[in-house]
Each structure stands twice: as structure tokens, then as C-alpha cells.
Amino acid sequence: FASHVPLPTHRFPADFRWGVATSAFQIEGAADVDGKGPSIWDTFCRRPGVIADGSDGTVACEHYHRLDADLDLIASLGVDAYRFSIAWPRVRPTGAGDWNEAGLAFYDRLIDGLNARGIQPHLTLNHWDLPEALQATGGWADRATVQRFVDYALGIAARYGRRVAAITTHNEPWVMAVLGHEAGIFAPGIRDRAIAAQVAHHLLLSHGLAVRAMRAAGCSVPMGIVLNLSPTVPATDSAADRARALLEDGRLLRWYMDPLFHGRYPVDILDDLGEQAPVIEPGDLDAISVPIDFLGINYYTRSVASAGAPWVPGSSGLPLTDMGWEVHAPSLTELLLRLARDYPVPPLTITENGGAFPDACIDGRVADHDRTEYLAGHIAAVGEAMRQGVPVNGYFVWSLMDNFEWASGYAKRFGIVHVDYTTQVRTPKASAHWYRRFLQHQQALRASALGIPTGD
């Protein structure tokens, strides 16, 4: 069942990590099993009208109950690494206080199962599912949550720190802050720009303090944070559109990159926030700018800024994914070059890249040519940035399998493995077969460069 999409020819280094990614809430299900507490996403999904198909994460991919088979599935892809997140309310149901041994044991089995199969576990502490009990006391808007997160990170590092290859503090603080607290379309569904700005600051602060605390406790695993980044281009060359693009770039990229790598917030965005700027205490920016071992980048699309009428996706003629996101691989090269030019970055890891596309299911096979082309083009774009000197050390496809796509419910499919939500049967799509063949080809390129006969 071969795909005819050509394999990228760039030879990636031998220690480059190829992987697939998921997050706890999107795949696990078992929302109240074995002592798990509710998260803000469990609560948010019950609000009428917020999830496109009215669904929730109660069952999802039943990954919690299908762990062993899913581990074999991951191994069958031939990847080096698997990126997953821990559901904080599964291991510490109220966010503080007692730990839940049954929940902790699940992640023991996951991590040990990966290591037994020769796959590096890349652990994310926070992929958005904050314990509901902490939202009740103010959530990320409350500075006390910062210390709760540091305590949680210390517990996780103590339990798993010797058995994982990387620890990420937060996944996409922009999404949690802006979509969760300003647009209100993600949990916890708040609409208040000042609160969103304070949340973003507390997320960054808790990242820095958690990294410091875990290292002080003797954890030597590589640590970093994951940002969702895009280059922002003006819709036209007009002064107004260019000013708008600068502002949007400040809100999406510089608001996070400047404090992490320059130890200061961008002045234009502080000015733009005015009275809504966050409370920042002395020492906060020192903590946020703690050196990290890698920067994770989730890249899906470029962003187009318009000062007038909202820009219409697709009007440039670029193809769109099922999310309505433009497909434009050169923007990934451009983004990586810009980050390496403007910031003293550690090695970059592409922690998510992929797309929602239609699947054609024929005779038990799932054809997803558009996704395969998307992956091929973006992997080549990473290779091009590396050829121009950008340090990139890994690439993870989003996602291992179709899953709960947040406010879009189950209708949008990002998996390279198809999930039948009636039977829970997993079927690798053509893109999964293509990815495995690409990884085998990379191994062959390495072997031939070393003069090792591969037998093919």
C-alpha cells in the first residue's frame, strides 16, 4: 500500500529524533476512572454549544484501557521517540494534596513500555487539562497556581525523571492564555484580555520556576517549553497591514520569545496592553529566562495580518486543511531561520507538525495523500533550515492517531493512524506507511554514509 509521494532527500543527523505526538485529554478517555479528578476540559465540554459536535473526552480513543496495543502500534511506526502528556488531575486529583497511585501507575506502564520497545519518552507536564479544583480557586490567573505547578513538576520529576528523555513544562501558553481566557473558545472559557495577559505571565513564570526546582532537586533530564509559532505576514504591503503584522507577531511570538531568551517583555506589546498589562514581580523575568535545553515548536501554518476587513483564508490561492489553515511549508523554514537569527536559541525541536485532512477509506485501507504531501513538504522545510545552519534536533508528527480535537470535537482528524470511534479499531493510514518508509530510508542513508552494508 505504497504512497508515491517522494521521500525528502536531506540526510538528517544520526541523533535526530523522529517521533509522533499526542496529549492526555485528547486520547486517554477514562475521565473519572481509578480516582482521576475532573479537569477544566471535562467541565468546559459540558457547556452547551462550545464543542462543535457536542462531544467530550469521556471515552476519546480509550487509550487508558488500550495502552499495550497502542505501545505496539507506536513501535510499529519505527519512531525513535513518543511525545505524550500527563493528565495532572489523574495523578493529583485536586491539583495539590494527595497523589493518586493508580494514575501514577498508568504512566509507569507507559514510560516503561516505551523504554522496553527502545522508544524515548518525551513527557509534557501541562497540555491544558488543569485540575478543576485549581480553577475553582482562580486557575492560572491566580499566582498561587504557579507554586501548585512547581510542586506537581517536582513530584513528576521525582517519580519518572530517571526514565524519560525530555520534560516539557507547558504546551502552547499562547493557546491557554488567549483561546482559553481572551477568546474564550477553549477551557476555561473566560473572555477578559487582562486576565489572559496575567495567565500568560503565570504560565511563563511557572515554567521557569519549575525548571529551576526540578534541576535543584537533581533531575538532569533535558527540559524545555513548547510554543505554537508562525511567521506573521501582512496581507498587503500597505503601512497599515504591516503595522498590524508587527503587532500580531508581538502577541504571538515576541511576547513569549523575548522573556524566555532576552529576559524582558516587548515594549510595544506592554504599551498596547496598557492598563491590562500583567502584574510582574521583581525576579519574575530572571526566573522565566532560566536557560533551557531545547525549545519545542508546534508549527501548522503561517499567519496573515490585515488592518481592514478580516483576511479570508484561501484568498491567496494556497491549499487549506480541514481546519481552514493554509498549507505553506516555506513558512516553516522562514520561521526557524528567524528564531535562530533573533534569539540565542538552544536546539529546536519540532514538537508538533501535521494537518487535518479528509481520509478516503477503501477496502480497509485509508488513503490520505494530502497529509502525506504535507508531511513530506514540511520535513523538507526543516531540512532546508538545518542546511542553512539552524540547530534542529527532532521532529514529531501531530498526531499518532485521530483524537479529540478540542472545540472541533472528533470531526477533525489529524492522525496518521485512523481511529474508528465505534469499534476503537486503529488503522495506519497511507501517511503512516509513508513515514515508516521515510524513517527506514534515513537509516539507510546514515548506514551508507558510514560505509555499512544495509543489504538492500
DSSP code string of 188-255: T----HHHHHHHHHHHHHHHHHHHHHHHHTT--S-EEEEEE---EEESSSSHHHHHHHHHHHIIIIIH
Q: By CB under 6 A, is residue 353 in contact with ligand PNW?
A: no
Rank residues 3 and 298 by Cβ distance to ligand PNW and give the closer one: 298
Nearest to 90 by CA among 156, 135, 143, 140: 156
Least distance to ligand PNW from the beta carbon of 354, Å? 8
As a dihedral over the C-alpha atoms of residue 172, residue 174, residue 180, residue 185, rounded to 10 degrees, the angle is: -90
Question: How far apart are CB 260 and ligand PNW at their closest, in Å?
Answer: 18
**Total of chain residues touching ligand PNW, rule CB under 6 A:** 11
Instruction: Read off φ and ψ for residue 263, nearest 5 degrees.
Output: 70, 25
183 and 123 Cβ atoms separated by less than 8 Å: no
Contact flag: residue 298 with ligand PNW (CB under 6 A): yes
- Which CB atom, from 303 or from 442, has the smaller least distance to ligand PNW? 303
DSSP character at residue 274? G
Which residues are known to be catalytic? 172, 352
How near is the Cβ of 168 to ligand PNW at its closest, in Å? 11
Which amino acid type is present at position 292?
Answer: I
Whether 403 and 414 have beta carbons less than 8 Å apart is answered as: yes
Half-sphere exposure of 340 (CA within 13 A, CB side): 18
Residue 431 interacts with ligand PNW (CB under 6 A)? no
Q: In this chain, which residue has its C-beta nearest to ligand PNW?
A: 228
305 to 175, 233, 245, 331, 333: CA distances (angstroms):
18, 6, 5, 14, 19
What residues from 54 to 93 belong to the interface with ligand PNW (CB under 6 A)? none
Taking the complex as a whole, the smallest distance from the CB of residue 26 to ligand PNW amounts, in Å, to 6
From the list 257, 169, 261, 171, the residue with the least C-alpha distance to 215 is: 169
- Do residues 174 and 200 make contact, with C-beta atoms less than 8 angstroms apart? yes
Among residues 241, 373, 384, 405, the one that binds ligand PNW under rule CB under 6 A? 405
Q: Does 228 bind ligand PNW (CB under 6 A)?
A: yes
**Per CB under 6 A, does 23 bind ligand PNW?**
yes
Closest separation between CB of residue 455 and ligand PNW, Å? Answer: 39
Question: Nearer Cβ to ligand PNW, position 58 or 448?
Answer: 58
Minimum gap (Å) between residue 183 Cβ and ligand PNW: 9
The site map against ligand PNW for 164-203 (x = CB under 6 A) is -------xx--x----------------------------
Q: Which of 398, 410, 435, 438 binds ligand PNW (CB under 6 A)?
A: 398
Residue 352 interacting with ligand PNW (CB under 6 A): yes
Residue ranges in contact with ligand PNW by CB under 6 A: 23, 26, 171-172, 175, 228, 298, 352, 398, 405, 414
